[in-house]
Amino acid sequence: MTPEEEQELQALRLEVRKLKRALANAVNDVARERNIVTTQMSMNAVLTLERDKDRNYLKMLLENSDTHIVILDSDYKFAYVSDGFLRVLGNNTQFYELQGKSPREAIFAKTTKESFETINDYALAAMKTGEKAHFRIGKVFAEDADNAEYIISVIPTVNDTNNITALLVIYQNVTELTNALASANDANRAKSDFLANMSHEIRTPLNAIIGMSQIAKGAQADADKIKYCINKIEESSTHLLGLINDILDMSKIEADKFDLSLTPFVFEKMLARVTDIVRFKLEEKNILFNIDIDKSLPPVIVGDEQRIAQVIMNLLSNAVKFTPVNGYITLTVRDLDTEQCGVHKLQISLCDSGIGISPEQKAKLFSPFVQADGSITRKFGGTGLGLVISKKIVEKCGGDIWVNSELGKGSEFVFTIKVTEGEDLRKTRVSPEGVRVLAVDDSPFVLEIFSGIAKKLNLNYDVADSGEAALALIEKNSYDIVFVDWKMPGMDGIELTKRVKGSCTSVVVMITAMDWAVIEKEAKAAGISKFISKPLLLPIIEETIGEFITSEKGGEVTPPDPTDSTDGIFKGKKILLSEDVEINREIIISLLENTGLEIVCAENGREAVASFISESDTLDLIFMDIHMPEMDGYEATRRIRAQKADNAKTIPIIAMTANVFMEDIKKCIAAGMNDHIGKPIEITNVIEKLKHYLM
């Protein structure tokens, strides 16, 4: 190959390499463009999906919102409406029915005239001036509730040349918000009124306590005046304690810490205790009070005795408060049905001849911090919380509460609860075989109640509606016990008792709705052995018969002293009182002074532990306060239980504290205590606990 050919071949090779490089670059460029296009397509697809998603979200929001949107074009015709707006127009309105039409043409008939004209005026003004407007208005659409409320916003849109191109109208339904705000304001106002009322209610008994204390101090040797002052102080103190308990119960309800404590109890005994509390007021107003109990009611039921009693007490106290002098109150108990697992549904009603309740007042009865009638509250007093607390208790017991009443025609409060039947473990001293009793009362209702009780107890009994009829029966029959009413027409109970005791050896028990202390001296002189109060209840009759009848017919009758004295009953027993407040120690020691108890004191938990260690072999029981300096009652109890003394694990330790909620009682038991007594101290409760643990 010649040099020229060699040179030409090299030039061709160089050209081929250039072409290859150019082709490779072109291929790379094509691939790069393809990737860019693919990426752009993917990005566009993603953006489209996002836009569709946003659009769907926006549509969902507008469809389910109380805010409705309308867009009018520059010619004041409908250009857009949200689905929510179409929905509130009603009649399945579609957008095509509105599109291109003015508001007056399209929706005037479907809105209220007043609202349409107001919104239309604002919208036309905005189209002319270009200024926004926001205003509040009432019912807008024909299907709105009468109390509906809207906030309307009218917003014009302007282009670069300041020409109005469209008008945005926003309808925001604020009815629920307005109602919620009104309710919150009402609640705040009610709580403010409640606090003002509570200030008055609390200060009233305090004023009586302070005032009567000062009067008693100045009375000096006037024993009757001092006794009067002390009675008023006791009444005011009891009233004040009731107010405080209501407020504390309400605070537990508000905090949702309201629990029940289920225990077996005798329902009729609980009723007797409740009745005893209001007996004085019943006597004072001469109110006829009757109790009618279903014969199928189980003798022992399982429920929260304290809370059920609280409901009945609230309703009964209200009935007494609002029933005039010489009125009547009837408490009825019915066992409606028995469900599975032995659950009984009880219906308890209280009917009175009081002032009655209007429909407006009934609507407020069970609302917290709201009293049905402020003027009545000022006249009769009270917290206004009793019915609210009662409703909560009843609902916790699986029941309901309601009222039937007309203004001026009395009231009937009714509630239901669910309870289970408990095992009757009571040790009755009644030996029905051969026991014969006679009941004398001029009231057919009382005799009917007594007959029902006697049948339940399988007693051999007779009834008489007058003293003369009773004496005629006594001439023919021999009776172990004669139950005699005090006030009867013709021959009263005192005279009848004298004649009975003059002709036979029957024990005579007086039944009365009045305070027996009024006739105690005369009645005892006539031969009355015991007093029991009306209304008659089975446990009271049963216990009374058990006191007098021995296990064998013809046994000796030993009538107990009606005063049930506690003199010297705990002689030889020694207790430790752990209490840091001096006046509380003084009260306990004074109240138990006649019982024969030896009491040693400790002023804090540390002293209590030291006293137990040094005197454990002589101590029989410990009363333990909870809140004390240096060491509280919980820790003191745990340390006592940890001692090596023989009785460290068994000595009864009873909490004596103002902590009275269920969780407080459980905490005491968990710390090792046996029982609980709440402050302020009720001496009968203290004696009852001492009898249980020391006798």
- In this prediction, residue 197 carries a pLDDT of 58
Query: Length of the chain in residues, anyone?
Result: 695
Angle at 665 between CA 624 and CA 264, to 5 degrees: 120
| Calpha distance 662→263 (Å, rounded) | 13
pLDDT tens per residue, range 63-103: 656 688 888 888 888 888 888 788 878 778 888 888 888 88
Q: CA of 146: how far to CAs of 108, 140, 142, 185, in Å?
A: 18, 10, 9, 21
Is the four-CA dihedral 430, 436, 438, 439 of positive or negative sign?
positive
Q: Please, which residues have CB within 8 angstroms of residue 558's CB and are 6 or more apart in sequence?
A: 548
- In this prediction, residue 557 carries a pLDDT of 43
Task: DSSP for 22-64, please give it.
Answer: HHHHHHHHHHHHHHHHHHHHHHHHHHHHHHHHHHHHHHHHHHH
Task: DSSP for 587-650, please give it.
Answer: HHHHHTGGGT-EEEEESSHHHHHHHHHHHTTT--EEEE-SS-SSS-HHHHHHHHHTS-STTTTT
| Calpha distance 689→695 (Å, rounded) | 10
| Calpha distance 322→606 (Å, rounded) | 52
| Calpha distance 279→518 (Å, rounded) | 14
- In this prediction, residue 47 carries a pLDDT of 55
Residue (of 558, 498, 562) closest to 526 by Cα position: 498
CA distance from start to end of the chain? 143
State the 10-residue block means of pLDDT for the chain, 695 residues long: 72 72 68 59 56 58 70 88 80 82 82 87 88 88 84 87 86 85 76 62 71 77 78 76 72 66 87 80 84 86 87 88 90 82 89 88 72 48 70 90 90 93 64 77 88 86 90 89 89 88 86 73 85 83 78 43 67 92 85 90 94 92 92 94 92 87 85 89 86 89
Task: Report residue 659 as tokens.
Answer: 């902590």
Task: DSSP for 162-215, please give it.
Answer: S-EEEEEEEEEE-HHHHHHHHHHHHHHHHHHHHHHHHHHHHHHHHHHHHHHHHH
| Calpha distance 2→456 (Å, rounded) | 147
Residue 162 — φ and ψ, nearest 5°? 65, 25
| Calpha distance 604→581 (Å, rounded) | 9
pLDDT tens per residue, range 276-313: 778 777 877 888 888 888 888 888 899 988 889 889 98
| Calpha distance 400→349 (Å, rounded) | 12
Three-state DSSP state, 354:
coil
| Calpha distance 175→138 (Å, rounded) | 9
- In this prediction, residue 383 carries a pLDDT of 53
Helices (H), 504-592: 520-526, 538-548, 582-591
Task: DSSP for 420-478, please give it.
Answer: EEPP---------TT-EEEEE-S-HHHHHHHHHHHHHTT-EEEEESSHHHHHHHHHH--
Task: Report residue 200 as tokens.
Answer: 């008055």
Residue (of 276, 277, 417) closest to 348 by Cα position: 417
Helices (H), 65-112: 83-89, 103-107
Contact call for residues 212 and 232 (beta carbons, < 8 A): yes
| Calpha distance 580→586 (Å, rounded) | 11
Residue (of 500, 503, 550) closest to 529 by Cα position: 500
Q: CA torsion angle for 272, 273, 278, 279 (degrees, to 10)? A: 50
Residue (of 450, 440, 444, 446) closest to 474 by Cα position: 440
- Spatial strand order of the sheet with 621-624 comes to 598-602, 574-578, 621-624, 653-657, 675-678
| Calpha distance 101→664 (Å, rounded) | 72
DSSP 341: G
DSSP 556: P
- In this prediction, residue 553 carries a pLDDT of 41
Cα 134 to the chain's mean position, in Å? 46
- In this prediction, residue 378 carries a pLDDT of 44
Residue (of 489, 252, 503, 524) closest to 389 by Cα position: 252
SS (H, E, C) 358-419: CHHHHCCCCCCCCCCCHHHHHHHCCCCCHHHHHHHHHHHCCCCEEEEECCCCCEEEEEEEEE
Angle at 457 between CA 524 and CA 279, to 5 degrees: 50
Amino acid at 104: R
Task: Report residue 627 as tokens.
Answer: 């809140």
- In this prediction, residue 368 carries a pLDDT of 62
